[in-house]
Structures are given as structure tokens and as C-alpha cells.
Structure 1
Amino acid sequence: MYEYLIEPFIRYGFMQRALLGSLFLSASCAPVGVFLMLRRMSLTGDAMSHAILPGAAIGFLLFGLEIIPMTIGGLVVGLLVALGSGVVSRLTIQKEDASMAAFYLISLAVGVLMVSWRGSSVDLMHVLFGSVLALNNEALILIVSIAAVTFLALAVFWRALVAECLDPLFLRSVSRIGAPAHFLFLTLVVLNLVGGFQALGTLLSVGLMMLPAAASRFWSNRVGPMCLIAVAIAAVSSLGGLLLSYHASMPSGPAIIFTAGGFYILSTLGGSRGVLRSAFASSRHKTA
């Protein structure tokens, strides 16, 4: 048991950095994913993860695979896409989901073309899918910093974020904090996607955000417990995915998301609010 579960993290420094980065990402991304899910914006998270690609590509073209330039580029472009889609939806007849889809498709195409223009197929795969096993100290510092900012924002603005999530019209009618809370939330989404980009790439970073959050919905209907359950599922998925990738020689990022997907399916079936429990309760009700 020791050689399967503990020895890889004791023997190899890259496994230790990968686990540390994944755990901080789990603690930071999962609560943001819960708010995205409750806002019915789950696919917006996927769109935003693609939208940061051009900014990261600009940083790559200018400085190569350097963390800080790619991070700043991804953050700036991600915020611009979020603001741009919001402006289009408010000033035209187009809904926000359609404008977001248009912006992210354009961003994805531009980003891939920019990386392909100068880089190799290896560089493109690194940008799209990341490499959690290649996390260095700079990447860890970035991930920990984003987690700290997320924890602070959630602690200070928790009530406003929950109110804006569950009843935004009521919050805007009684307070002026509604619009700032929405912008703060979008900023947290982009920040965490940029952090996840360092480990999982633009295509998979949203997986650690949304799959644990979606799974937590089958275990609770309260926001606080859902966030805690999502963090636990994300952390165990990160640990299990890294072990799976090590022992089965699988890519680490997809292995983590695959493990999180397994937890989602198990939660869908066996959760306290899942399919089997609902079917059992329904059959008992009909019998009675």
C-alpha cells in the first residue's frame, strides 16, 4: 500500500509539486465552480477557459513559455472577453450566452493560430492541455497567490456573492453592490482559470472547477456545504489522478479530470440527492 499511495510523493520532487499545486487549485477552483453552477453559467466557465488562450499566446510569442507574461496576457484577455460579451448582451438583442460563445470561439481560433505560428506541436499541446507534472516554483507561487486572493474575496464578500447568485434582482433592488459583486465573481473565475491553465491547460482547467461542483449538488442543497464537498472531491480527484497517471503511465491532467468525472458519475447515482435515492423514494411513495 505504501509503494502505491505514498512512495511516489516521497521519492519524486515533481510529484510533490504537482500534488501541492493540484490541492491549492482544488481548494480555490471548486467553490468558484459551485457559484458558476448555481448561476446556471457552467458553460460560461468552459467558454472563459478558451477565451484566455489569445492572451497566453501573446505572452508565449513575446517571451516563450514564461509563466508571468502568459498569465498576465491570459488574465487581461479573459477579462476583456467577459466585459465584451456583457456589453454586447446589454446593448443589443443578443443574449449573453450567444455573445460569449461567439467571443470564445474567435478567441480559441486566434490563440491556436498564434501558438502554431511560432511554436511547435509540443508547445501547442502544452498550452492546450498543460503539464501538472512540470510545475515549477514560479507556477506554484502563482497558484498559491490566486488561491489566497480567492479565499480572501470569498471570506469578505461571501454574503454578497451568495445573494447575487441566488437572487441578483433582489440584491440590485436593495443595494448597489450587485454589479460590483458580479464583476468580482467574473474576476475570480478568470483568475482561477488562469491558475488552472498553468497545470491543466486551457481545455482542461475548467474540469477541476465544474466537475466537483456538479457532483456536490447531489449531496447537499446549501451553498456552504456544497463548496466544502466540492473542494473535498477535487482534492481526492487530484490525488487519485496523479497516482493513476504515475502507475498507469497516463497524461496527468486528463487523469485528474477523468477521476473527477468518475466521482461525478458516482455522485449522480449514489448521492443523497442522486438517481438511486430518488428512485427508491419514489417507489416507496407509490407503495405507500
Structure 2
Amino acid sequence: MLFLYEYLIAPFVEFAFMQRALAGALMLSVGACPVGVFLMLRRMSLTGDAMAHAILPGAATGFLLYGLQIIPMTLGGLAAGVVVALGAGAVSRLTIQKEDASMAAFYLISLALGVLIVSLRGSNVDLMHVLFGTVLALNNDALSLIGTITVVTLVALAIFWRGLVAECLDPLFLRSVSRLGPPVHFIFLGLVVLNLVGGFQALGTLLSVGLMMVPAAAARFWTSRIEPMCLLAVAIGVASCISGLLLSYHASLPSGPAIILSAGVVYLLSIIAGTRGVLATRVRHASHRTA
């Protein structure tokens, strides 16, 4: 029991920075993982990755003007994410280029521009902070921001749940019977940007999408229903945050990558042992052949 306490509980009891890191990571899991489920079901997983890179120039501009202050970097990242989302959508509607191609172009330009902006003022340490985050250095302002984003996300999901589910299953049908199709789509993209901005504070621009997508991808191997999938994705995200923070503390590893790699382990196990994974699929195929 003493061993379990020292390795699993003591770090979160004895150190305030671990408590803040745990609180921020858990709130991110609650808000971002359900959004990741909808991204995956819409086959927009790479769009989330593109949007994560898209916020970098705005956050870097806030850093260039005000240093490592939360509000300027957050507002800059939010503005950049909205501009890229709207720009990519406009290009796909006004030209022959599809949205995935325009999003890829925008995100590559954004990534290069953001790194250049950070390099104008900051050091390599500052660049690593922006790209990979510092979940162990979250302060009260960052926790307040993440908590607000989580609440807004949960409220929006509750209000627009049926529209989001309908658009995932049959977007053309939703647009034919309701005018909610386009508004729901842009509201959803707004939620994606918001959660990436919140994740940016803890995990950086390159890893924030990992907590959004990897638990969602793992949950897909266990259920086909959306509600249980969202709950399971949150549970996987929470477990990954706890195990990643403990691994970071005891092994002196970077906290952000440790969290995402913990989720990656669950994803690999889900591929093999999930009820919709490799083993279960082989068993079903074998039973069908024998029948």
C-alpha cells in the first residue's frame, strides 16, 4: 500500500504544480475528447491536426508582442484558427480545390510562419514551449481559461448534439430537412479551435490535437454508438493524463509527450483487444466460416 501511495498518489498530494497539471489535463480530456470523436466520425481527423498548426502564427504573434502571457497568445491563436478555418472553407467553395487540400496548404504556411515569428524574438526554449507546451507549469489563469473552454464545449455539445450526430451520419439529409447544417458545421469548427487553443496552453500546438484524437480513435475499437464512444474517449483521455503525468514525474520525461504516448499505448491495445479490434474480428470471421 505504501508503494502504491508513493508512486500513484503522493505526487498529486505533495506538489501543487502536479495538482494544477492534473486539473488542467483532466478538464482538457472532458472537453476535447468528445470533439475528437465527432472529428473522427466526420473523417476530419487530419483537419484537427491542420487546425492545431493553424493557431501557431496567432499565438506566436501574441508571444512576440507580449511574451509568454496567456491572454495575448490565446486571443492570437483563436483569431488565427478562425481565419484559417474560414479561409480554407472559402477557397473550397469559390475554387476547384477541395477543403482538405486548401486546409493542408494553409496549415503548412501557418506552421512555417509561426516558427519564424517565434524565432524573431525567442530562444529555442521559447520555441519548444510554444510547440510542445508546459503542462507542469500551468498557472491559475491557464486553468481558468481551460475550465471556461470546457464548460462552453459541454454546453454547446448538449445544445447541438442532435445536429452534430445527424451531420456525422448524413450531412446531405440534414441540409435537405433543416437549415441547421451550415451553422452546425461552423459551430463545430469553432469548438475544435477553442479546444485546440485550450490544449495549446498545456500541450503546445503540435501535441494538443493528440489528446483530442488518440483517445477518440481508441474508443472507436470498443463501440459503434456515439454516446458511449464519447464517454469512453473521455475515460481514456483521463487515464492517459494521469499515467502520463506520473510517468513524467518519476522518469523525468517531458509531460506532454508522456501523456500522448500513454494514450498511444491504449490505442495499440484497443487495436488488438477491442471488441471491434483485430482479435474480435478474426474470431467473428472464423465463426462465420465454420457456420
What TM-score, normalized by structure 2, do the two folds share? Answer: 0.98
Moved more, 163-172 or 176-185: 163-172
Q: 1:85: Cα distance to partner?
A: 0.3
Letter in 2 for 1:272: T
- Establish whether residue 264 from structure 1 lines up as the match of residue 246 from structure 2: no
Matches within 5 A, 1:113-124: 113-124=116-127
Matches within 5 A, 1:4-19: 4-19=7-22
Alignment partner for residue 106 of structure 1, among 105, 109, 118? 109
Once residues 74 and 20 of structure 1 are traced to their aligned partners in structure 2, the CA distance between those partners, rounded to angstroms, is 22
- Establish whether residue 241 from structure 1 lines up as the match of residue 238 from structure 2: no
Once residues 66 and 249 of structure 2 are traced to their aligned partners in structure 1, the CA distance between those partners, rounded to angstroms, is 31
Once residues 57 and 33 of structure 2 are traced to their aligned partners in structure 1, the CA distance between those partners, rounded to angstroms, is 25
- Establish whether residue 283 from structure 1 lines up as the match of residue 286 from structure 2: yes
Once residues 43 and 249 of structure 1 are traced to their aligned partners in structure 2, the CA distance between those partners, rounded to angstroms, is 31
Letter in 1 for 2:138: L
- Establish whether residue 172 from structure 1 lines up as the match of residue 169 from structure 2: no
- % identical equivalent positions: 74
Q: 1:194: Cα distance to partner?
A: 0.2
- Establish whether residue 61 from structure 1 lines up as the match of residue 72 from structure 2: no
Which structure 2 segments of 5+ residues have no match?
A: none
Aligned to 1:96: 99
Once the two structures are superposed, what CA deviation does each residue of 1:216-259 show, in whole Å capped at 9, x if it has no partner? 10111111110000000000000000001111111000000000
- What SS class does the counterpart of residue 276 from structure 2 fall into? coil
- Establish whether residue 138 from structure 1 lines up as the match of residue 141 from structure 2: yes
- Establish whether residue 198 from structure 1 lines up as the match of residue 184 from structure 2: no
Aligned to 1:182: 185
Q: 1:284: Cα distance to partner?
A: 2.0
Aligned length: 288
Aligned to 1:34: 37
Aligned to 1:47: 50
Once residues 290 and 86 of structure 2 are traced to their aligned partners in structure 1, the CA distance between those partners, rounded to angstroms, is 54
- What SS class does the counterpart of residue 222 from structure 2 fall into? coil
Once the two structures are superposed, what CA deviation does each residue of 1:195-219 show, in whole Å capped at 9, x if it has no partner? 0000000000000000000001011
Q: 1:175: Cα distance to partner?
A: 0.7
Once the two structures are superposed, what CA deviation does each residue of 1:36-88 show, in whole Å capped at 9, x if it has no partner? 00000000000000000000011001110000000000001101100000000
CA RMSD of aligned residues (A): 0.6
Aligned to 2:213: 210
Q: 1:166: Cα distance to partner?
A: 1.5
Q: 1:27: Cα distance to partner?
A: 0.4
Q: Return structure 1 stretches of 4+ with deviation > 6 angstroms.
A: none
Once residues 43 and 180 of structure 2 are traced to their aligned partners in structure 1, the CA distance between those partners, rounded to angstroms, is 21
Q: 1:283: Cα distance to partner?
A: 1.5
Alignment partner for residue 162 of structure 2, among 159, 162, 167? 159
Aligned to 1:254: 257
Q: 1:93: Cα distance to partner?
A: 0.6
Once the two structures are superposed, what CA deviation does each residue of 1:108-131 show, in whole Å capped at 9, x if it has no partner? 000000000111100000000001
